Structure 1
Amino acid sequence: MKKLLTLSAIAASFVAPAMAAEEVNVYSYRQPFLVEPMFNEFTKETGIKVNVKFAKKGLAEKLQQEGEYSPADVVLTTDISRLAELTDKDVVQAVDSEVINANVPAQYRDKENEWFALTLRTRNVYSSRDRVGKLGNDFDYIDLANAEYKGKICTRSGKHPYNVSLVSSMIAHHGEAETKEWLEGVKANLARKPQGNDRAQVKAISEGLCDLSLGNSYYLGKMVNDKEQKAWADAVYINFPNQNTTGTHVNVSGMAMAKYSPNKDNALKLMEFLTGDKAQQMYAEVNYEYPVKEGVKRSELVASWGDFKADKISLDEIAEYHGAAIKLLDEVKFDL
């Protein structure tokens, strides 16, 4: 009997912690240092451990391959195109949460509640302080095709998701024919073949290779706080196009609940936490992005860039034009 009781005790020592363990599994395109502070705070508040698998690409395909055996609970992505891909591949599920719906404006969540924005980032035009100066509120994206900027524009690949989303918004506002003509004009004005990332374009401006570039807003914050890149940031102004017309194009980072989430309750708790005041403030301070929840303060640096009018077009509508945007970029051979 004593031996039997000992065996029972040993078994309980393995089973009890397993039953008591609270965890949630995240697949993330976002870099570890950008999201781990929020995860650590979530664990501190709830006792739920966050396990994270980071990737640069292929998460939607991975979820498809894993199917119902996938351990993923929550997926974090870096732009609207990747959020749309998750819904297109049917690897996420709808989430009905009054908390999330109250925190995330309708413009920045899926109409079927299959994805939700976490932060906002604007697609800005950077201009040389010395050679161009600050652009006025009357400057529009469409002006990038003007002949006066011939040989003066730098950008990363037109087919990078950030640029594809911008082109998609142009189609939504102007139609395919006019957007194609615009792309041809922008290509004719490029100082060099599209290459590098958004920071590389600002570096090119600082080196005198071009005068204007396209780039997401938060990169300026990262460069300002990077000892080696601060000189690049100091060489440019950040400009918010379309202030007198449709408003500056806004993209997002976002989240979705995996279709076969094994820890659904914990997944929901994490998703609600990430849209709340504390996490939103942390996003603002750590990532230099704009909080998606209204009323949460921007970081002091981001606030110093000034207020702007955002494009009101829904991200759902922008996502509908991604295929057309890629087709136009191919037709004009933008990256060649």
Structure 2
Amino acid sequence: MSVSPRSAPRRRTLLAGAVAALAAAVALPVGSALAAGAGSVNVYSTRQQFLIQPLFDAFTEKTGIEVNVVFAKEGLAERLRAEGDNSPADLVFTADIGRLADMVDMGVVQPVETEALTEAVPEQYRHPDGLWYGLTLRGRVIYASKERVPEGAVTSYADLADPRWEGKVCTRKGDHVYQVALLAAMIARHGDDWARDWLEGVKANLARKPQGNDRAQVKAIMEGQCDLAVGNTYYMGKMLEDPEQRAWAESATIIFPDQDGSGTHMNLSGVAMTTAAPNREHAVTLMEYLVSDEAQALYAELNHEYPVKPGVEWSDLLQSWGDFKMDPLSLDEVAKYRPEALMMVNSVGYNS
């Protein structure tokens, strides 16, 4: 799928209002009692409160429905399974296809199908049975040193395994969900043998033992430890916002791989309805709001992510990175290869 950036003057107005609303937001800690009954929606989220609260505030202002949030970095699928039918949660928010697939595999989410959701979210970014829907997209791209990597020298994921980059590549651990999803996409796209050869080649080119998060890889580029790294697009925006990390971002450029082939691997943030969902009607209303033009523009602006809904304007920063081709491979298909990808990471000893 080829994507063209767009712009709209209302985006800044929406963002300003949301940020003002955020100042008054109060998060519920994990373990707090969530409201049930008419006029509310209860959310479990692995996404940090400040990333999604502006959307919930805008939704409440528009509909009068309150949104109560419990944030936890991990363990929400297990919590939902333990709570069962007694869970107060209506919706669960998380990032990465792996975490959404885990919710499906553990049987803690139920299908939702409405015209608004299926029209807004392209087929490759939603579960075929409506068990989850993508909300925003992020590309898994190559970060390259502006000083040491000539323009055009790297154009594909395959280049990361080229021996000319021996000792020049940095990545986070291979069993992290972002890396597993990328490898699973390689398996789905090219087959097991190709993916294994590629992974072994990347390992042979590592400048250091896999470690740190995506931002740490870009910092390593600035420090000269490596010339190439793998990371999600939105981290460039996050680093540019942080005075202490801006220099990291400015040392690297984004390469969207495989523009002459299948396109850049995309992952997503998404939402699913829990099996309990005591406030199902209001939860559906919130899901539909989140894929509206208004919410999509706001969500993407706040998080430096791409709207999942085609035709919604990109932020100025995303536009500055340019148009690019996204891999149209279904993320539900990618999820099927995650167990194989994880076994492959371990069998080649990628993290050692």
Please classify the TM superposition score into its range, dividing by the shorter chain length: over 0.9
- Answering whether residue 87 of structure 2 is matched by residue 70 of structure 1, we say yes
Structural mapping, 1:1-336, within 5 Å:
21-135=38-152, 139-336=155-352
Which has the higher Rg, Structure 1 or Structure 2? 1
Q: Match of 1:86, SS?
A: helix
Q: Deviations over 1:139-186 (max 9, x none)?
A: 110111110000000011111111100000000111112211111110
Q: What displacement does 1:225 show? A: 1.2
Instruction: Note the aligned Cα RMSD (angstroms).
Output: 1.3
Q: Match of 1:304, SS?
A: helix
Q: Deviations over 1:234-287 (max 9, x none)?
A: 100100000001100000000000111000001001100111111101112100
Q: Which runs of 5+ in 2 are unaligned?
A: 1-34
Counterpart Cα distance in 1 of 2:297 and 2:279: 26
Partner of 1:3: none
Counterpart Cα distance in 1 of 2:53 and 2:309: 20
Deviates more, 1:171-180 or 1:61-70: 171-180
Whether the 8 Å contact between 2:165 and 2:205 is mirrored in structure 1 is yes
Q: Match of 2:42, SS?
A: strand
Q: Match of 1:77, SS?
A: strand
Q: Match of 2:312, SS?
A: coil
The TM-score, its normalising length taken from structure 2, stands at 0.89
Q: Deviations over 1:33-67 (max 9, x none)?
A: 11000000001111111110111111111000000
Q: Which runs of 5+ in 1 are unaligned?
A: 1-17
Runs (4 or more) in structure 1 with deviation over 4 Å come to 18-21
Counterpart AA for 2:71: F
Whether the 8 Å contact between 1:110 and 1:116 is mirrored in structure 2 is yes
Q: Give identity over the alignment, percent.
A: 55
Q: Match of 2:44, SS?
A: strand
Whether the 8 Å contact between 2:144 and 2:229 is mirrored in structure 1 is yes
Counterpart AA for 1:185: G
Whether the 8 Å contact between 1:68 and 1:260 is mirrored in structure 2 is yes
Whether the 8 Å contact between 1:134 and 1:237 is mirrored in structure 2 is no
Counterpart Cα distance in 1 of 2:36 and 2:97: 37
Counterpart Cα distance in 2 of 1:123 and 1:218: 9
Counterpart Cα distance in 2 of 1:217 and 1:244: 19
Counterpart AA for 1:204: A
- 1:89/1:128 CA distance change after superposition, 3 Å: same
The TM-score, its normalising length taken from structure 1, stands at 0.93
